[in-house]
A and B are shown apart, each in its own frame.
Chain A
């Protein structure tokens, strides 16, 4: 099993550009989520999904969109990048009935 994979590992965007961060898991986990991690702040939940076709907002959803068309994939879209979105983004998956989250390696995003 590859576990949770994320692409790209690094990305630089200009203000106003859009992009999609990819996340995939091969463990057949129902629950997937996106976090951002900033210096001096804990991991903050952006969006999450409890299964294919079902998504909901987390703590900091503004400026981001998600969809979940399959169990395996949970992409995160930045609609119009802003410098405030410079961060490290982590995707995580969780098997149903558990809250033990399995994290991907992260994507480091810089918006200039």
Chain B
């Protein structure tokens, strides 16, 4: 069965303390992996798309990487404004996405 698992469920960091979020997947025919950021009370906001193992994308303090079984979202020197829930989703060989349950990140000053 196709599945997307994110870990940890919640992460508390001190400002400046770098860390990584994990998204592992078991999907047949992966056609893309997506990262979104969701702030409380708002809709998800698109961050990155990764298509093949070894691919990396960067945006400010965030870097997303992809292997054949998982993706990491690395956060370097986070700031309080990086606090949000980060969602991972995969696309199979259809038009539909499967979302993980997210990692809730809190960054304290």
Give the B-binding residues of A (Cβ under 8 A): 4, 31, 35, 40-45, 48, 50, 58-59, 90, 92, 99-106
Contact = CB atoms under 8 A, between A and B. Distances in A.
B101 A103 contact: no
Nearest to A104: B43
A43 B87 contact: yes
Contacts of B98: 42
Q: How large is the interface on B (under 10, 10 to 19, 20 to 34, 35 or more residues)?
A: 20 to 34
Contacts of B99: 35, 42-44
Contacts of B49: 99-100
A103 to B, nearest CB: 3
Given A48-B96, A58-B96, A100-B49, A90 B44 contact: yes
Contact of A31 (B41, B45, B95): B95
A35 B49 CA distance: 20
Contact of B32 (A35, A43, A50, A99): A99
Q: Tell me whether chain B's interface is mostly helix, strand or loop, or mixed.
A: strand
A48 B100 CA distance: 19
Given A99-B32, A99-B91, A99-B97, A42 B46 contact: no
Contacts of A43: 44, 87, 89, 97, 99
A84 B102 CA distance: 22
B43 A99 contact: no
A99 B46 CA distance: 10
Contacts, number: 54
B86 interface: no
B72 interface: no
A50 B95 contact: yes
Interface in B34-71: 34, 36, 41-46, 49
A92 B42 CA distance: 12
B93 to A, nearest CB: 12
B96 A103 contact: no
Contacts of B44: 43, 90, 101, 103
